[in-house]
A and B are shown apart, each in its own frame.
Chain A
Amino acid sequence: MNKSFTNKKLIVLLISVILFFALLAVSLNRNGSVNIFQQIMNDVTAVAGRVVSKPANALTNVFESVNHLLDTYEENQRLKQEIDSVYEIQAELSVTKEQNEALKEELELQNSLTDYSTITGAVIARNPDSWVEEVIVDRGSQDGVELGMSVMSGQGLIGRISEVNPTSSKVRLISTMDQRNNLVSSEIITEEGDVVHGVISAYEAETGRLIMNQITTNVTLEPGQQVVTSGLSGKTPRSLLIGTVDEVTMDNFGLSQRVYVVPAGDFNDIRYVSIIDRHAESEE
Protein backbone atom coordinates (compact mmCIF):
# COMPACT_ATOMS: atom_id res chain seq x y z
CA MET A 1 0.00 0.00 0.00
CA ASN A 2 2.87 2.32 0.55
CA LYS A 3 4.33 2.24 -2.93
CA SER A 4 5.49 5.79 -3.37
CA PHE A 5 4.59 9.28 -2.33
CA THR A 6 2.25 10.90 -4.76
CA ASN A 7 3.17 14.37 -5.91
CA LYS A 8 0.31 15.98 -4.08
CA LYS A 9 1.29 14.45 -0.75
CA LEU A 10 4.86 15.53 -1.19
CA ILE A 11 3.88 19.10 -1.91
CA VAL A 12 1.56 19.21 1.09
CA LEU A 13 4.31 17.83 3.27
CA LEU A 14 6.85 20.32 2.03
CA ILE A 15 4.54 23.26 2.47
CA SER A 16 3.66 22.19 6.00
CA VAL A 17 7.33 21.82 6.93
CA ILE A 18 8.00 25.33 5.64
CA LEU A 19 4.99 26.69 7.50
CA PHE A 20 6.14 24.95 10.66
CA PHE A 21 9.54 26.59 10.60
CA ALA A 22 8.03 29.93 9.67
CA LEU A 23 5.62 29.83 12.61
CA LEU A 24 8.42 28.81 14.92
CA ALA A 25 10.66 31.63 13.76
CA VAL A 26 7.92 34.24 13.95
CA SER A 27 6.83 33.33 17.44
CA LEU A 28 10.36 33.11 18.78
CA ASN A 29 11.37 36.54 17.55
CA ARG A 30 8.20 38.36 18.30
CA ASN A 31 9.15 38.95 21.96
CA GLY A 32 5.84 39.17 23.66
CA SER A 33 3.36 41.08 21.57
CA VAL A 34 0.74 38.86 20.04
CA ASN A 35 -1.81 39.60 17.37
CA ILE A 36 -5.42 40.29 18.26
CA PHE A 37 -6.69 36.89 17.17
CA GLN A 38 -4.40 35.07 19.57
CA GLN A 39 -5.20 37.51 22.33
CA ILE A 40 -8.91 36.76 22.02
CA MET A 41 -8.26 33.03 22.03
CA ASN A 42 -6.01 33.25 25.06
CA ASP A 43 -8.54 35.33 26.92
CA VAL A 44 -11.45 33.02 26.23
CA THR A 45 -9.37 30.08 27.39
CA ALA A 46 -8.28 32.06 30.42
CA VAL A 47 -11.90 32.55 31.43
CA ALA A 48 -12.40 28.79 31.45
CA GLY A 49 -9.13 28.41 33.31
CA ARG A 50 -10.26 30.82 35.97
CA VAL A 51 -13.51 28.96 36.48
CA VAL A 52 -11.65 25.75 37.14
CA SER A 53 -8.76 27.13 39.14
CA LYS A 54 -10.84 28.84 41.81
CA PRO A 55 -12.33 25.64 43.26
CA ALA A 56 -8.97 23.91 42.83
CA ASN A 57 -7.33 26.69 44.84
CA ALA A 58 -9.99 26.50 47.52
CA LEU A 59 -9.45 22.79 47.85
CA THR A 60 -5.69 23.21 48.17
CA ASN A 61 -6.24 25.86 50.82
CA VAL A 62 -8.33 23.46 52.85
CA PHE A 63 -5.63 20.80 52.75
CA GLU A 64 -2.99 23.31 53.65
CA SER A 65 -4.90 24.61 56.66
CA VAL A 66 -5.23 21.09 57.95
CA ASN A 67 -1.49 20.62 57.54
CA HIS A 68 -0.77 23.88 59.28
CA LEU A 69 -2.88 22.96 62.26
CA LEU A 70 -0.56 20.07 62.86
CA ASP A 71 2.63 22.13 63.17
CA THR A 72 1.17 25.19 64.81
CA TYR A 73 3.01 24.79 68.09
CA GLU A 74 6.53 24.73 66.63
CA GLU A 75 5.75 27.55 64.28
CA ASN A 76 4.46 29.60 67.19
CA GLN A 77 7.71 29.19 69.09
CA ARG A 78 9.75 30.16 66.09
CA LEU A 79 7.63 33.19 65.31
CA LYS A 80 7.82 34.49 68.85
CA GLN A 81 11.57 34.67 68.53
CA GLU A 82 11.40 36.48 65.22
CA ILE A 83 8.94 39.09 66.44
CA ASP A 84 11.42 40.69 68.82
CA SER A 85 13.82 41.56 66.04
CA VAL A 86 10.97 42.85 63.89
CA TYR A 87 10.08 45.63 66.34
CA GLU A 88 13.60 46.96 66.22
CA ILE A 89 13.74 46.92 62.45
CA GLN A 90 10.38 48.64 62.19
CA ALA A 91 11.54 51.52 64.33
CA GLU A 92 14.70 51.91 62.25
CA LEU A 93 12.68 51.71 59.07
CA SER A 94 10.22 54.46 59.94
CA VAL A 95 13.03 56.83 60.87
CA THR A 96 14.85 56.07 57.62
CA LYS A 97 11.70 56.53 55.57
CA GLU A 98 11.06 59.93 57.08
CA GLN A 99 14.59 61.02 56.32
CA ASN A 100 14.26 59.72 52.78
CA GLU A 101 11.06 61.66 52.15
CA ALA A 102 12.56 64.85 53.51
CA LEU A 103 15.67 64.48 51.35
CA LYS A 104 13.60 63.73 48.25
CA GLU A 105 11.64 66.90 48.81
CA GLU A 106 14.83 68.85 49.23
CA LEU A 107 16.19 67.63 45.94
CA GLU A 108 12.82 67.82 44.26
CA LEU A 109 13.06 64.28 42.98
CA GLN A 110 9.91 63.13 41.26
CA ASN A 111 10.13 59.40 40.91
CA SER A 112 13.14 57.45 42.02
CA LEU A 113 14.09 53.98 41.10
CA THR A 114 12.42 52.52 44.17
CA ASP A 115 8.89 53.83 43.61
CA TYR A 116 6.42 51.33 42.37
CA SER A 117 2.82 50.19 42.70
CA THR A 118 1.61 46.61 42.70
CA ILE A 119 -1.13 44.83 40.82
CA THR A 120 -2.11 41.61 42.55
CA GLY A 121 -3.38 38.69 40.59
CA ALA A 122 -4.15 35.03 40.96
CA VAL A 123 -2.59 32.21 39.01
CA ILE A 124 -4.99 30.39 36.68
CA ALA A 125 -2.80 27.82 35.04
CA ARG A 126 0.75 26.74 34.54
CA ASN A 127 2.52 25.47 31.49
CA PRO A 128 2.23 21.68 31.92
CA ASP A 129 5.11 21.22 29.54
CA SER A 130 7.66 22.78 31.84
CA TRP A 131 10.27 23.12 29.14
CA VAL A 132 9.67 26.83 29.49
CA GLU A 133 8.40 27.63 32.97
CA GLU A 134 5.46 29.92 32.51
CA VAL A 135 2.53 30.78 34.70
CA ILE A 136 -0.70 32.34 33.51
CA VAL A 137 -2.24 35.02 35.70
CA ASP A 138 -5.61 36.69 35.50
CA ARG A 139 -4.50 40.32 35.07
CA GLY A 140 -4.04 41.77 31.64
CA SER A 141 -3.52 45.01 29.76
CA GLN A 142 -6.86 46.28 30.98
CA ASP A 143 -5.54 46.19 34.54
CA GLY A 144 -2.43 48.07 33.55
CA VAL A 145 -0.06 45.18 33.04
CA GLU A 146 2.68 45.79 30.52
CA LEU A 147 5.33 43.66 28.95
CA GLY A 148 8.51 43.27 30.99
CA MET A 149 7.10 44.07 34.41
CA SER A 150 8.57 42.10 37.28
CA VAL A 151 6.45 39.68 39.21
CA MET A 152 6.84 38.74 42.85
CA SER A 153 5.26 35.94 44.78
CA GLY A 154 5.68 34.98 48.37
CA GLN A 155 8.69 36.92 49.48
CA GLY A 156 10.74 37.19 46.36
CA LEU A 157 11.05 37.92 42.70
CA ILE A 158 9.87 35.01 40.61
CA GLY A 159 9.64 36.21 37.06
CA ARG A 160 8.77 38.71 34.42
CA ILE A 161 5.71 39.29 32.25
CA SER A 162 6.41 37.77 28.85
CA GLU A 163 3.07 38.15 27.09
CA VAL A 164 0.08 40.40 27.66
CA ASN A 165 -3.53 39.84 26.59
CA PRO A 166 -6.48 42.04 27.54
CA THR A 167 -7.48 40.02 30.61
CA SER A 168 -4.67 37.58 31.20
CA SER A 169 -0.94 37.49 30.91
CA LYS A 170 1.92 35.04 31.00
CA VAL A 171 4.72 35.24 33.52
CA ARG A 172 8.02 33.66 32.60
CA LEU A 173 9.78 32.46 35.74
CA ILE A 174 13.44 33.21 36.24
CA SER A 175 14.06 29.51 36.70
CA THR A 176 13.87 29.29 32.91
CA MET A 177 17.15 30.68 31.88
CA ASP A 178 16.62 31.99 28.41
CA GLN A 179 19.92 33.64 27.72
CA ARG A 180 18.42 36.15 25.36
CA ASN A 181 15.72 37.75 27.42
CA ASN A 182 15.49 36.47 30.95
CA LEU A 183 18.38 38.08 32.76
CA VAL A 184 17.95 39.98 36.01
CA SER A 185 20.22 42.83 36.95
CA SER A 186 20.93 42.55 40.65
CA GLU A 187 23.02 43.93 43.44
CA ILE A 188 24.23 43.01 46.89
CA ILE A 189 24.59 45.63 49.58
CA THR A 190 27.08 44.59 52.23
CA GLU A 191 27.02 45.78 55.84
CA GLU A 192 29.79 48.25 55.17
CA GLY A 193 27.60 49.88 52.54
CA ASP A 194 29.41 48.65 49.42
CA VAL A 195 27.12 47.98 46.51
CA VAL A 196 28.14 45.06 44.31
CA HIS A 197 26.42 44.71 40.93
CA GLY A 198 25.91 41.54 38.93
CA VAL A 199 23.58 39.75 36.58
CA ILE A 200 21.49 36.71 37.44
CA SER A 201 21.80 34.65 34.32
CA ALA A 202 21.38 30.99 35.12
CA TYR A 203 19.48 28.55 37.27
CA GLU A 204 20.90 25.36 38.66
CA ALA A 205 18.02 22.95 38.65
CA GLU A 206 19.59 20.24 40.80
CA THR A 207 20.06 22.45 43.83
CA GLY A 208 17.43 25.03 43.02
CA ARG A 209 19.77 28.00 43.15
CA LEU A 210 20.18 31.01 40.91
CA ILE A 211 23.61 31.92 39.64
CA MET A 212 24.76 35.51 39.65
CA ASN A 213 27.61 36.27 37.27
CA GLN A 214 29.70 39.17 36.06
CA ILE A 215 30.69 40.38 39.50
CA THR A 216 33.91 42.25 39.02
CA THR A 217 34.84 43.56 42.40
CA ASN A 218 37.29 42.96 45.20
CA VAL A 219 34.71 43.15 47.93
CA THR A 220 34.35 39.87 49.80
CA LEU A 221 30.84 38.50 49.72
CA GLU A 222 29.56 36.18 52.39
CA PRO A 223 26.72 33.71 52.63
CA GLY A 224 23.60 35.18 54.13
CA GLN A 225 23.74 38.55 52.42
CA GLN A 226 20.66 39.65 50.57
CA VAL A 227 20.49 39.92 46.80
CA VAL A 228 18.07 42.51 45.46
CA THR A 229 17.25 43.98 42.07
CA SER A 230 19.28 46.99 41.10
CA GLY A 231 16.74 48.94 39.09
CA LEU A 232 19.26 49.52 36.35
CA SER A 233 17.35 47.52 33.76
CA GLY A 234 14.29 48.98 32.10
CA LYS A 235 11.21 47.95 33.97
CA THR A 236 12.29 46.58 37.30
CA PRO A 237 12.42 48.91 40.28
CA ARG A 238 15.20 48.76 42.80
CA SER A 239 15.34 46.70 45.98
CA LEU A 240 12.99 43.84 45.19
CA LEU A 241 14.25 40.83 47.08
CA ILE A 242 15.63 38.04 44.93
CA GLY A 243 17.26 35.77 47.48
CA THR A 244 20.17 35.25 49.81
CA VAL A 245 23.76 34.36 49.03
CA ASP A 246 24.56 30.71 49.51
CA GLU A 247 28.03 30.18 48.08
CA VAL A 248 30.70 32.42 46.56
CA THR A 249 33.14 31.02 44.02
CA MET A 250 35.22 32.22 41.10
CA ASP A 251 33.89 31.72 37.61
CA ASN A 252 35.44 29.41 35.02
CA PHE A 253 38.13 31.82 33.93
CA GLY A 254 38.96 33.21 37.32
CA LEU A 255 38.18 36.75 36.18
CA SER A 256 35.05 37.48 38.16
CA GLN A 257 33.19 36.08 41.07
CA ARG A 258 30.19 33.83 40.82
CA VAL A 259 27.57 33.75 43.51
CA TYR A 260 24.98 31.07 44.11
CA VAL A 261 21.73 32.55 45.36
CA VAL A 262 18.97 30.71 47.17
CA PRO A 263 15.79 32.29 45.80
CA ALA A 264 13.36 33.86 48.23
CA GLY A 265 10.31 33.20 46.10
CA ASP A 266 8.95 29.69 45.72
CA PHE A 267 8.91 28.52 42.14
CA ASN A 268 6.78 25.49 42.79
CA ASP A 269 3.87 26.73 44.85
CA ILE A 270 2.72 29.93 43.22
CA ARG A 271 -0.86 30.96 43.76
CA TYR A 272 -1.01 34.71 44.11
CA VAL A 273 1.37 37.09 42.44
CA SER A 274 2.11 40.80 42.65
CA ILE A 275 2.98 42.52 39.41
CA ILE A 276 5.27 45.47 39.97
CA ASP A 277 4.59 48.65 38.05
CA ARG A 278 7.56 50.98 38.20
CA HIS A 279 6.82 54.68 38.33
CA ALA A 280 10.08 56.02 37.00
CA GLU A 281 10.25 56.48 33.26
CA SER A 282 12.87 54.52 31.41
CA GLU A 283 14.62 55.32 28.19
CA GLU A 284 12.99 52.61 26.07
Chain B
Amino acid sequence: MIQWKRTLIPLLTLFCLFIFDGTFAFVFRNQLAGDNYLMVPRLLFIGLLYFSFRLPKNQAMYLAMLYGFLYDSYYTGILGIYLAFFALIVYTVFYLKKFVYINLGTMGMIGIVMLTLLETLVYLVYQGIDLTQVTWSGFFAARLGPTLLLNGIFYVLLYFPLKKITDNAMEEAKMI
Protein backbone atom coordinates (compact mmCIF):
# COMPACT_ATOMS: atom_id res chain seq x y z
CA MET B 1 0.00 0.00 0.00
CA ILE B 2 2.75 2.39 0.93
CA GLN B 3 4.55 1.42 -2.24
CA TRP B 4 1.60 2.33 -4.48
CA LYS B 5 1.06 5.62 -2.75
CA ARG B 6 4.67 6.50 -3.20
CA THR B 7 4.63 6.05 -6.94
CA LEU B 8 1.11 7.16 -7.67
CA ILE B 9 0.91 10.47 -5.85
CA PRO B 10 3.85 12.17 -7.58
CA LEU B 11 2.57 10.84 -10.89
CA LEU B 12 -0.87 12.34 -10.41
CA THR B 13 0.40 15.65 -9.06
CA LEU B 14 2.67 16.12 -12.03
CA PHE B 15 -0.17 15.26 -14.37
CA CYS B 16 -2.34 17.95 -12.79
CA LEU B 17 0.45 20.50 -13.10
CA PHE B 18 0.98 19.45 -16.70
CA ILE B 19 -2.64 20.07 -17.59
CA PHE B 20 -2.71 23.35 -15.70
CA ASP B 21 0.27 24.57 -17.71
CA GLY B 22 -1.70 24.26 -20.90
CA THR B 23 -4.94 25.60 -19.52
CA PHE B 24 -3.16 28.52 -17.89
CA ALA B 25 -1.38 29.37 -21.12
CA PHE B 26 -4.64 29.49 -23.02
CA VAL B 27 -6.96 31.15 -20.51
CA PHE B 28 -4.55 33.89 -19.45
CA ARG B 29 -2.90 34.42 -22.79
CA ASN B 30 -3.66 38.14 -22.93
CA GLN B 31 -2.03 38.71 -19.58
CA LEU B 32 0.94 36.49 -20.28
CA ALA B 33 1.88 37.91 -23.64
CA GLY B 34 2.33 41.59 -24.22
CA ASP B 35 3.98 43.73 -26.86
CA ASN B 36 7.50 42.94 -25.86
CA TYR B 37 7.32 40.24 -23.25
CA LEU B 38 6.07 36.70 -23.02
CA MET B 39 5.79 34.75 -19.79
CA VAL B 40 5.92 30.98 -19.94
CA PRO B 41 4.16 29.10 -17.14
CA ARG B 42 6.40 26.29 -15.96
CA LEU B 43 4.29 24.61 -13.33
CA LEU B 44 5.31 21.15 -14.44
CA PHE B 45 8.95 22.09 -14.18
CA ILE B 46 8.54 23.39 -10.64
CA GLY B 47 6.83 20.17 -9.62
CA LEU B 48 9.50 18.08 -11.27
CA LEU B 49 12.23 20.07 -9.57
CA TYR B 50 10.66 19.60 -6.17
CA PHE B 51 10.26 15.89 -6.69
CA SER B 52 13.80 15.45 -7.88
CA PHE B 53 14.99 16.93 -4.60
CA ARG B 54 12.86 14.69 -2.47
CA LEU B 55 12.33 11.42 -4.32
CA PRO B 56 14.89 8.68 -5.02
CA LYS B 57 16.93 9.00 -8.15
CA ASN B 58 15.32 6.31 -10.30
CA GLN B 59 11.79 7.41 -9.66
CA ALA B 60 12.54 11.03 -10.37
CA MET B 61 14.36 10.13 -13.57
CA TYR B 62 11.45 8.04 -14.83
CA LEU B 63 9.01 10.83 -14.02
CA ALA B 64 11.20 13.34 -15.83
CA MET B 65 11.46 11.22 -18.97
CA LEU B 66 7.77 10.34 -18.98
CA TYR B 67 6.61 13.91 -18.57
CA GLY B 68 9.25 15.22 -20.93
CA PHE B 69 7.95 12.92 -23.62
CA LEU B 70 4.33 13.75 -22.82
CA TYR B 71 5.07 17.46 -22.93
CA ASP B 72 6.74 17.10 -26.32
CA SER B 73 4.02 14.96 -27.76
CA TYR B 74 1.01 16.87 -26.46
CA TYR B 75 2.17 20.47 -26.64
CA THR B 76 4.84 20.87 -29.26
CA GLY B 77 4.87 17.88 -31.55
CA ILE B 78 8.65 17.96 -31.79
CA LEU B 79 9.81 14.97 -29.79
CA GLY B 80 12.99 14.79 -27.87
CA ILE B 81 13.49 18.35 -26.72
CA TYR B 82 11.89 18.33 -23.31
CA LEU B 83 12.53 14.63 -22.92
CA ALA B 84 16.26 15.20 -23.04
CA PHE B 85 16.31 18.44 -21.09
CA PHE B 86 14.11 17.33 -18.22
CA ALA B 87 16.32 14.29 -17.79
CA LEU B 88 19.41 16.47 -17.91
CA ILE B 89 18.03 18.88 -15.30
CA VAL B 90 17.06 16.06 -12.94
CA TYR B 91 20.50 14.59 -13.32
CA THR B 92 22.11 17.93 -12.53
CA VAL B 93 19.90 18.39 -9.49
CA PHE B 94 21.02 15.04 -8.17
CA TYR B 95 24.58 16.13 -8.53
CA LEU B 96 23.96 19.44 -6.74
CA LYS B 97 21.77 17.97 -4.04
CA LYS B 98 24.76 16.70 -2.15
CA PHE B 99 26.29 20.11 -1.68
CA VAL B 100 23.42 22.14 -0.27
CA TYR B 101 21.04 21.99 2.64
CA ILE B 102 17.54 21.89 1.21
CA ASN B 103 15.01 24.49 2.23
CA LEU B 104 12.68 26.95 0.49
CA GLY B 105 15.38 29.47 -0.26
CA THR B 106 18.14 27.19 -1.50
CA MET B 107 15.79 25.12 -3.58
CA GLY B 108 14.44 28.33 -5.07
CA MET B 109 17.87 29.55 -6.02
CA ILE B 110 18.83 26.25 -7.60
CA GLY B 111 15.44 26.33 -9.31
CA ILE B 112 16.13 29.71 -10.87
CA VAL B 113 19.44 28.49 -12.24
CA MET B 114 17.84 25.30 -13.56
CA LEU B 115 14.99 27.20 -15.20
CA THR B 116 17.46 29.53 -16.88
CA LEU B 117 19.37 26.52 -18.09
CA LEU B 118 16.23 24.90 -19.45
CA GLU B 119 15.01 28.02 -21.23
CA THR B 120 18.41 28.68 -22.74
CA LEU B 121 18.81 25.13 -24.00
CA VAL B 122 15.35 25.10 -25.54
CA TYR B 123 16.02 28.47 -27.16
CA LEU B 124 19.27 27.22 -28.64
CA VAL B 125 17.59 24.14 -30.05
CA TYR B 126 14.84 26.18 -31.64
CA GLN B 127 17.38 28.55 -33.11
CA GLY B 128 19.34 25.59 -34.40
CA ILE B 129 16.34 24.13 -36.22
CA ASP B 130 15.42 27.57 -37.49
CA LEU B 131 11.96 27.91 -35.99
CA THR B 132 12.57 31.23 -34.32
CA GLN B 133 14.41 34.39 -35.20
CA VAL B 134 14.41 35.97 -31.77
CA THR B 135 17.83 37.38 -30.99
CA TRP B 136 19.80 36.49 -27.90
CA SER B 137 19.23 39.85 -26.22
CA GLY B 138 15.57 39.81 -27.19
CA PHE B 139 15.27 36.39 -25.61
CA PHE B 140 16.86 37.54 -22.37
CA ALA B 141 14.73 40.59 -21.93
CA ALA B 142 11.46 39.45 -23.36
CA ARG B 143 11.19 35.84 -22.32
CA LEU B 144 13.69 34.82 -19.69
CA GLY B 145 13.16 37.70 -17.27
CA PRO B 146 9.37 37.65 -17.19
CA THR B 147 9.32 33.85 -17.12
CA LEU B 148 11.60 33.73 -14.10
CA LEU B 149 9.43 36.30 -12.38
CA LEU B 150 6.19 34.45 -13.03
CA ASN B 151 7.60 31.11 -12.04
CA GLY B 152 9.25 32.53 -8.95
CA ILE B 153 5.80 33.48 -7.74
CA PHE B 154 4.42 30.09 -8.69
CA TYR B 155 7.26 28.38 -6.90
CA VAL B 156 6.58 30.17 -3.63
CA LEU B 157 2.89 29.36 -3.94
CA LEU B 158 3.49 25.72 -4.77
CA TYR B 159 6.26 24.92 -2.32
CA PHE B 160 4.19 24.16 0.75
CA PRO B 161 1.42 22.17 -0.97
CA LEU B 162 4.08 20.12 -2.74
CA LYS B 163 5.86 19.55 0.53
CA LYS B 164 2.69 18.29 2.13
CA ILE B 165 1.97 16.01 -0.77
CA THR B 166 5.43 14.50 -0.77
CA ASP B 167 5.37 13.99 2.99
CA ASN B 168 2.09 12.24 2.54
CA ALA B 169 3.46 10.08 -0.23
CA MET B 170 6.58 9.09 1.60
CA GLU B 171 4.87 8.66 4.95
CA GLU B 172 7.84 9.65 6.97
CA ALA B 173 8.04 12.81 9.00
CA LYS B 174 10.69 14.53 6.97
CA MET B 175 11.06 18.08 8.20
CA ILE B 176 12.31 19.95 5.20
- Chain A residues within CB distance 8 Å of chain B: 16, 19-24, 26-28, 34, 38, 41-42, 45-46, 48-49, 52-53, 56-57, 59-60, 123-132, 134-136, 162-163, 170, 176, 178-179, 206, 268-270
Contact = CB atoms under 8 A, between A and B. Distances in A.
A24 B74 contact: no
Nearest to B22: A125
Contacts of B30: 268-269
Query: Which of A48, A53, A127, A162 has the most chain B CB within a 10 Å cutoff?
Result: A127
Interface of B: 15, 18-27, 29-30, 33, 35-36, 38, 40-42, 70, 72-81, 83-84, 87, 122-123, 125-126, 129-132
19 contacts: A20-B80, A23-B79, A45-B18, A49-B23, A53-B26, A59-B27, A124-B26, A125-B26, A127-B76, A128-B24, A129-B40, A129-B75, A129-B76, A131-B131, A132-B131, A134-B75, A134-B77, A136-B75, A170-B77
Given A34-B77, A125-B22, A131-B122, 5 more contacts: A46-B74, A49-B23, A52-B23, A126-B25, A132-B131
Given A41-B73, A42-B74, A52-B19, A128 B84 contact: no
Query: Which 3 residue pairs spanning A and B have beta carbons closest together?
Result: A125-B22, A23-B80, A126-B26
B19 A49 contact: yes
Nearest to B25: A128
A269 B19 CA distance: 19
B131 A27 contact: no
Given A49-B23, A52-B19, A135-B26, A130 B70 contact: no
Query: Which of B20, B26, B33, B73 has the most chain A CB within a 10 Å cutoff?
Result: B26
Query: Which of B18, B30, B131 has the most chain A CB within a 10 Å cutoff?
Result: B131
Contacts of B78: 24, 27-28, 132
A26 B78 CA distance: 9
A27 B79 contact: yes
A125 B18 CA distance: 11
Contacts, number: 122
B131 A136 contact: no
Contacts of B41: 128
A45 B15 CA distance: 9
Contacts of A129: 40, 75-76, 122
A52 B81 contact: no
Contacts of B73: 34, 38, 41-42
Contacts of B27: 53, 56-57, 59-60
A136 B22 contact: yes
A126 B29 contact: yes
A26 B79 contact: yes
Nearest to B30: A268
B23 to A, nearest CB: 5
Contacts of B29: 126, 268-270
A24 B80 contact: yes
Contacts of B21: 128
